[in-house]
Amino acid sequence: MGAFEWGMLVALSILWGGSFFFQGVAVRELPTLTIVTLRVAIAALTLWVMVLITGRTIPTEPRVWAAFFGMGLLNNVIPFGLIVWGQQTIASGLASILNATTPLFAVIIAGLLLSDERVSASKLIGVFVGFVGTVVMIGPQALEGLGLNLWAQIACLAAALSYAFAGVFGRRFKAMGVDPFVVAAGQVSASTILLLPVTVIIDQPWNLAVPTGAVWASIIALAVFSTAIAYMLYFSILARAGATNLMLVTFLIPITGVLLGWVILDERLEAVHAIGMFLIGIGLVFIDGRLLSRRSASG
């Protein structure tokens, strides 16, 4: 990846990092399926407006729309539902740590299924070091709940696995020649179609209490920023840099969260955060591989 791709990855980490906060606010008053359905439905509306304004071509081929539904299932319906459900009984810090297993799954799955993203020792070392850095940054105390609420933790791990499969599955859209913005819109539209009837049957939204303004603000922010705009970046990075590099965003999320808290909220930047950032940086160097290749060549 070049500087532009790394910049997009950092921006994506900021947008997705906020989703844990927004979800934490929403689950106080709304059930899981309702939150997820509102998230993708509002995101779909936002994205199609942007697609029409920018004059992009809307695909009509059945195979493309079938791929949208496959991507929506793997990248939205399954992981969103599992993470939001899991966050009802486990802390967001532990959920973030479990979510940071995504690059490990991505390295293995991409290595098995994609000829140009083979597993290497440097990638595996990088993923392990990056994961340790994530735990250090979020705080080892977040692991205190590990083993409790086991099904919620398994749900978060299953969500990470689904994200990894989605990254590999999404590589097909570049070969189809579909614009990343259109892919993002098609994916969340397919997710909305899949989720809406299930949500109506299970949650019966008309029986729910009207959410407060804070919850509505969180849902809208979750949909527009952490979903619509985030997926524009997601599919652009996937087309340019591949599935393994894309999944590195889960290592960057805690870094951007800590730095934003330091800059905007005047939160304290502690030594443990610097150590975690350093470890994540080392992990990214190993996964990227270029610096190691240059050192080997010069040696």
Per-residue confidence band for 28, with pLDDT thresholds at 50, 70 and 90: confident
- Report the percentage of the chain scoring pLDDT > 70: 88
- Range 113-142 average pLDDT: 75
How many H helices and E strands in the chain? 16, 0
- The answer, yes or no, to whether residue 299 has pLDDT greater than 60, is no
Which residues are within 8 A (CB) of 209 and not within 5 positions of it... i.e. 6 or more apart? 29
| Tens digit of each residue's pLDDT (9 = 90 or more) over 229-283 | 998 998 888 888 887 777 778 778 777 767 766 776 566 777 777 887 788 878 7
Nearest residue to 190 via CA among 158, 160, 166: 166
Torsion region of 120: left, alpha or beta (phi above 0 gives left; psi -120 to 50 gives alpha)? beta
Q: Which residues 6+ apart lie within 8 Å of 73 measured at CB?
A: 190, 191, 194
Structural domain spans, the chain: 3-122+149-250
Reported as a single tens digit per residue, the pLDDT across 48-71 is 999 999 999 888 899 999 999 999
What amino acid occupies position 148?
A: L
Predicted local distance difference test score (pLDDT) of residue 98? 78
Q: Yes or no: say if 69 and 194 are a contact pair by the CB < 8 Å rule.
A: yes
Residue-wise pLDDT tens digits, 166-201: 888 988 888 888 898 899 999 999 999 999 998 999
**Nearest Cα to Cα of residue 24 among 160, 214, 252:** 214
Nearest alpha-carbon partner for 45 in 184, 146, 177: 184
Using pLDDT thresholds of 50, 70 and 90, give the confidence band for residue 107. Answer: confident
User: Interior CA angle at 6 toward 226 and 217, to 5°?
Assistant: 15
Q: Which residue has the tokens 């359905």?
A: 37
Tokens 């340790």 belong to 132
**CA–CA gap between residue 47 and residue 179 (Å, rounded):** 12
* Percent of the chain at pLDDT exceeding 90: 21
Contacts of 207 (CB under 8 A, 6+ apart): none
Can you give the pTM of this predicted structure? Answer: 0.76
Question: What is the predicted pLDDT for the residue at 62?
Answer: 92
- Cα(185)–Cα(165) distance, rounded to whole angstroms? 19
- pLDDT score, position 63: 93
Q: Which residue has the higher pLDDT, 35 or 80?
A: 35
pLDDT band at 141 (very low <50, low <70, confident <90, very high): low
> What is the rounded distance in angstroms from the CA atom of residue 225 to the CA atom of residue 228?
6
Give the model's pLDDT for residue 279.
83
Highest mean pLDDT out of 4-8, 148-152, 185-189: 185-189
16 within 8 A of 230, measured Cβ to Cβ: yes
Render pLDDT for 35-45 as a digit per residue (tens, 0 to 9): 889 999 999 99
Q: Is the pLDDT of residue 296 over 70?
A: no
